[in-house]
């Protein structure tokens, strides 16, 4: 029976007063294998990312501080990428891309989780390409967080999914782990900008031969 890999996106929105939350969207991608009858057979991966609708938020009267201050880790990341005093992207990032951005909205790639048996099939790279395909026209910058999942504090009651990831197959050496994950993003066409040790960037407006070579039809 023929199998198909599906990228299934989930996020929440609604009517009413969401305040700044409307401009800070958490999105989960579930990667599944389905048979030719459309029935899900297996969950094989997850990608978690956020889109910060900076332009729309500022048009609605919010400033960057308000938008990023809703979550602690988002605020820290916002400080790294944006200058809150001038409500704009940090100057060295702008200079790296010759001030050439489609807009100020950003996509933050937080977690890529792929079952070990599918890690050598470029599935993570194809998932990221699919995200850029769908959201590249609304985001001026994609930012990958370089923090290896295997270095997260161990949980004595880990769930079945986390155990199935077999993170112990990755290096437990902190320096090696960070280098390997950064190289993983670089292999997809992301850019390493000096000073940003734990962040990696992609500007969808710029020509990107590496990302273009990732084939979603294969």
**Helix count and strand count (H, E) for the chain:** 8, 8
Amino acid 74: pLDDT: 83
Specify burial of residue 71 (Cβ count, 10 A radius: 0-12, 13-18, 19+). middle
pTM value surpassing 0.85: yes
Q: Using alpha carbons only, how large is the chain's radius of gyration in Å?
A: 18
Amino acid 208: pLDDT: 96
Indicate the helix (H) or strand (E) that contains 196: none
Indicate the helix (H) or strand (E) that contains 218: none
Q: d(Cα 39, Cα 37) in Å, to the nearest integer?
A: 6
Amino acid 73: pLDDT: 78
The residues that bridge with 174 in the sheet, in sequence order, are: none
Amino acid 91: pLDDT: 94
- The string of DSSP codes covering 99-115 is T--S-S-EEEEEEEEE-
- What DSSP designation does 49 have? E
pLDDT digits (tens, 9 = 90+) for 168-186: 889 889 899 999 999 999 9
Q: Which segments in the chain show pLDDT lower than 70?
A: 1-2, 36-40, 154-158
Q: d(Cα 131, Cα 104) in Å, to the nearest integer?
A: 17
Amino acid 2: pLDDT: 59
Taking the CA atoms of 181, 182, 187 and 188 in sequence, report the sign of the dihedral they define: positive
pLDDT digits (tens, 9 = 90+) for 198-213: 999 999 999 999 999 9
CA atoms within 13 A on the CB side of 212: 7
């Amino acid at each position: 029976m023929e199998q198909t890999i599906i990228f299934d996106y989930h996020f929440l929105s609604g009517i009413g007063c969401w305040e700044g939350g409307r401009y800070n969207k958490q999105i989960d991608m579930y990667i599944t294998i389905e048979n030719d009858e459309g029935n899900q057979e297996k969950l094989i991966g997850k990608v978690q990312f956020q889109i910060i609708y900076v332009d729309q938020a500022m048009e609605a009267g919010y400033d960057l501080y308000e938008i990023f201050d809703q979550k602690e880790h988002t605020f820290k990341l916002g400080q790294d990428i944006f200058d809150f005093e001038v409500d704009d992207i940090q100057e060295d990032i702008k200079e790296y891309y010759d001030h050439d951005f489609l807009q100020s909205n950003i996509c933050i790639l937080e977690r890529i989780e792929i079952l070990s048996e599918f890690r050598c099939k470029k599935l993570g790279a194809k998932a990221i390409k699919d995200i850029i395909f769908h959201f590249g026209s609304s985001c001026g910058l994609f930012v990958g967080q370089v923090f290896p999942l295997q270095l997260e504090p161990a949980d004595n009651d880990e769930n079945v999914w986390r155990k199935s990831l077999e993170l112990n197959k990755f290096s437990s050496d902190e320096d090696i782990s960070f280098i390997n994950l950064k190289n993983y993003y670089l292999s997809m066409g992301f850019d390493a900008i000096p000073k940003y040790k734990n962040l990696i960037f992609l500007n969808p407006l710029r020509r990107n031969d590496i990302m273009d070579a990732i084939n979603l039809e294969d």
